Amino acid sequence: MSIGVILPRGSVATQVIGISILLVTGYIFSRVYKSIGLFSLLYIFILYLCVLILFSSEMIYSMSNLASTIIWMLILPISFFVISDLEKFKKLINAITLIGVLYILNIVISSAFNIQGKSYSREIFDVGNVFTEGLNSMAYLLAASPLIVYLNPKYKRVIILIAIIIFILVLVQLKRISIIAILAGFIINLFYSGNRINIFLGLVSSALILFIAYPIFESTLQKQMKARERRLTTQNIEEEGRYQETFIVLDEILYSGQPSTVFFGKEVFNSPGNYANGKYGRRMIHNDYNVVLHGSGIVGLSLFLFWPIPLFIFYRKIKYSAKAYFSDKKLFDYMQVTFICFLILGYILSISGGINAILFNAIRVVVLGAILRIFYEHYIQFHTQKKLHA
């Protein structure tokens, strides 16, 4: 929130903060690490990217983006090794919930003091330095809102109100992928959860409140739609850089005719000026799938697509035994739906890009790791009890 507002972009202070976070993350990982095959593909992906960095023409720039990516990737195993009981898990979820409050405060403060930033919503309010990071973070937060409410029943009304405010703020900014991710999260909650009646009633009541509150933000939404009218047309979507970049990257990598480029890509995390013959200047590739394919070839793209798969396989293996030992079956249901939500939403949000963004990627993986660990603990306890009774 402070970079570009209080701390100048690219300043020594921001570099010190970034390096410090990387070192702390690496230190914690080294302290809690245990040998487990669950994260093997993730580790291979990290090592693979580290090797490719050596071939970048702008190594410092590539290393900076890689460092941000490594931070959130390492948070996944850290979460699994550390969040071992429900008390810790609740603290984690509540801490993530506070990010929603900070997001609202950021917009209020930025608008009050005219702290501008890169956004689609400059015509209606300021977001400071929190744009894509914040919107995608809110997508995860709203997808987890049924779990958050269940863990904090005394604050149910407050949490729902905050969720509605966040949804309105995301809606009026018209960030398409974030909105699609939120809607996908609601659909998954509705159709996958065993508590779908409670979720449905919660969504209905929230929709009713939105309907009643619509006159308050109607003019703001219409103003934003008018400002972004051209961007929302089919013709303009086809003309967008992030739409065109897909075909450019596919042509430059898969149809390059050079096996090394096809398999290993070129200029990992260093796309500005290095694709489309420099047609887009210093514009970077946005879509994560394009970023990874361009920088690391089909080997890297395969690792990027498949590193979450072992998490799902592990979840499928342990969930029935874990559920049998879970005393609170409703909580188990909310947790497993949140796990599925976060697993799928990661693939959706990657379309808009942000592989080197720490915040929303960290929210995703820290929850995935924590839920898997809690389930694994119950899985072990179930089988231990089973052996004792045998």
| pLDDT for the residue 235 | 46
Q: What is the mean pLDDT of residues 344-351?
A: 94
Q: What is the mean pLDDT of the chain?
A: 87
Instruction: Give the model confidence (pLDDT) of 186-217 as tens digits.
Output: 999 888 888 878 888 878 888 888 788 778 77
Q: How far apart are CA 2 and CA 14, in angstroms?
A: 10
Which pLDDT band, with edges at 50, 70 and 90, does 238 fall under? Answer: very low
User: What is the arithmetic mean of pLDDT over 273-300?
Assistant: 89
At 121, the pLDDT band (50, 70, 90 cuts) reads: low
The more confidently predicted of residues 122 and 259 is 259
The predicted-structure confidence for 48-96, as pLDDT tens digits, reads as follows 999 999 999 999 999 999 999 999 999 999 999 999 999 999 999 999 9
Residues 6+ apart with CB under 8 A from 152: 94, 97, 159
Closest by CA position to 146, among listed 336, 308, 369: 336
- Apex 319 CA angle, 317 and 320, nearest 5: 95
> In the structure, what pLDDT confidence band is assigned to residue 237 with cuts at 50, 70 and 90?
very low
Q: What percent of the chain has pLDDT over 70?
A: 90
pLDDT of residue 118: 63
90 contacts: CB under 8 Å, gap ≥ 6? 151
The H or E element containing residue 93 is: helix 86-112
pLDDT higher than 50, residue 292: yes
Q: What is the pLDDT of residue 8?
A: 75
Residues contacting residue 72 through CB under 8 Å, at least 6 positions apart: 357, 358, 361, 362, 365
- Looking at residue 12, what is its pLDDT? 82
Q: What is the pLDDT of residues 12-47, one digit of tens each?
A: 888 888 889 999 999 999 999 998 899 999 999 999
pLDDT tops 60 at residue 388 = yes
Residues making up the chain, counted from first to last: 390
pLDDT of residue 200: 82
Cα 359 to Cα 25: distance, rounded to the nearest angstrom: 14
Say yes or no to pLDDT of 220 above 80: no
- Runs of H (alpha helix) within 228-328: 234-239, 241-253, 259-264, 288-306, 309-325
Average pLDDT over residues 99-117: 83
pLDDT for 335 equals 96
Rounded Cα–Cα distance for residues 209 and 171 (Å): 15
How far apart CA 369 and CA 339 sit, in angstroms, is 9
For residue 227, count other CB atoms closer than 10 A to its CB.
Answer: 15
DSSP letter, residue 116: -
For residues 345-362, average pLDDT = 92
The arithmetic mean of pLDDT across residues 229-251, rounded, is: 68
Categorize the per-residue pLDDT at 119 as very low, low, confident or very high, splitting at 50, 70 and 90.
Answer: low
Joined together, the tokens standing for residue 266 give 């070129």
pTM: 0.91
- Read off the pLDDT of residues 135-161 as tens digits, 9 standing for 90 and up: 899 999 999 999 999 999 999 999 999
Q: What is the mean pLDDT of residues 108-117?
A: 77
Residue 231 has pLDDT above 50, yes or no: yes
**219/38: higher pLDDT:** 38
